[in-house]
Structure 1
Amino acid sequence: MTSHVSLALDDILVRPIVDHALAEDLGRAGDITGQACIDPDARLSVVWASRQDGRVSGLSCARLALAALDPTATFEVAAPDGSDVMPGAILARAEGAARAVLAAERTGLNLLGRLSGIATLTRAYVRLVEGTGATIVDTRKTTPGLRALEKYAVRCGGGVNHRFGLDDAILIKDNHVAACGGVGEAVRRARAHAGHLVKVEVEVDGLDQLEEALKHGPDVVMLDNFSLDDLKTAVRAAKGRAVLEASGGVNLTTVRAIAETGVDVISVGALTHSAPVLDIGLDAV
């Protein structure tokens, strides 16, 4: 089980996303089903329960969705973010105005299921590379508008975040290299531009580019779609001069062998772009 201490995501980051999702669902007239069928004074107690084995992430989304529609509602966490749960496990309990609980239901479940799915898939990758020394990291292949939440879910799953955006590290990709006229020139320009707190990473697609890049002192080299043999050769050639990141062709079948080549980091776009939603239900009690 992942430690819960370092997993908190401040409400100020989550609330705007939840509010936007609620507004999308409520539309122009609000929940007309609830207005038609439920007495305005009715109260409802509910639980969120997992229907699958998985790892929890995103309970604050369910809490904030409910609080936005009923600030007086209670919300009690039973299995915090980062918890491993089995089918039937209760994640949280709440009590509040029935109309509010039901109007907030889908928004909370959509986000909670999505984030828990990412955390669960990340957990699977992390477990597969245990003992190798390799770190599983995410990418910027996230759902527009949900990056902070999805990268948080990766942390809940035991993974580590790559850069959050274009502004927090220099990452020279193949098209940057083409525009600069070569890997070495691209890294040289990046080094001249970067401040002392800015890391420089460069993507290479072959061992010849790796050697050229290393001459200019990048902090990280991304080995793009290297074969296992070439990954091993790259590790020997780099001799610790840069952090080596393997990327491309990574899945649950291949990740262990990639980790065993000795690379430092394995980036997996699938963590955020292909994670199945964890099946979580909200039930009246």
Structure 2
Amino acid sequence: MPKRAKKDDNKCETEASVQDEEPGNKKGKKGGKEAEPVILYEDGPDKLTTEDGKDYKLKISSWNVDGIRAWVKKEGLSWVREEDPDILCLQETKCAEKSLPAEVKNMEEYPNKYWACSEEKEGYSGVAMLCKEKPLDVTYGIGIEEHDKEGRIITAEFDSFYLVTAYIPNSSRGLVRLDYRQRWDVDFRAYLKGLDAKKPLILCGDLNVAHQEIDLKNPKTNKKTAGFTPQEREGFGALLAEGFVDSFRELYPDKPYAYTFWTYMMNARGKNVGWRLDYFVLSKALLPALCDSKIRSKAMGSDHCPITLYMAI
């Protein structure tokens, strides 16, 4: 994801994103620049029924926590207990299972917990899935070693659907990993198509792409930035073309200023200079069961905010 680079952090997900901060061009009386007005995103009331009146039965939340140990210290679990999803998916946990905080491992609300982490780097990547009800089956990765060694995918099978939580590779500073990201997109798309041929699926997580210009504050100055290159946007578009739907844009096609990530630099979150990188993507067969897709932009604890999906399934 686009984010600040740390001196002691050699992971490929770092991206300076200084272009995100783009003050207005109007000049004041003394020739200085006037800041653009801050427009914050407001989540509307949760819709708990489908268009034809079916009540939701499943609530899923997804959050890139930017380090689960730090997130716990920032009271992330308090939000989880208040939100109370049936399934909680986390990305960028940056923690081996043996080093997980006891507060997470001991959560009685979620007796079924699943973890994937990088095989080669401690404190890098990682995803988790916490479920109130036990899935029929759980698998890790997509069956390709090049991709699976970084701990980016967990798939759970339930009676009528698959749930996939994903932390998609970032193209990195200078786009040095863009070629790899394009290979990933092709292979991951094939994996999802294979699942969808068996039963419909829900994909959630940090997909590391702002699909449309409406999905980030400054599209004009970020066209060569990781997460908004033509190649990445086309890759996401190709996934949708295979019979999948971006649930938020399905419900809110023209809703602006709806972001899920803000760089830590330059008070980007306070100014709502952000990107929408976190998604719930559905098989089209699940659209009749879609109640709502929410962005919880006020929840703190990470450089991302959580998102929540309501389904009558």
- TM-score, structure 1 as length reference: 0.29
Q: Rg larger in 1 or in 2?
A: 1
Which structure has greater helix proportion? 1
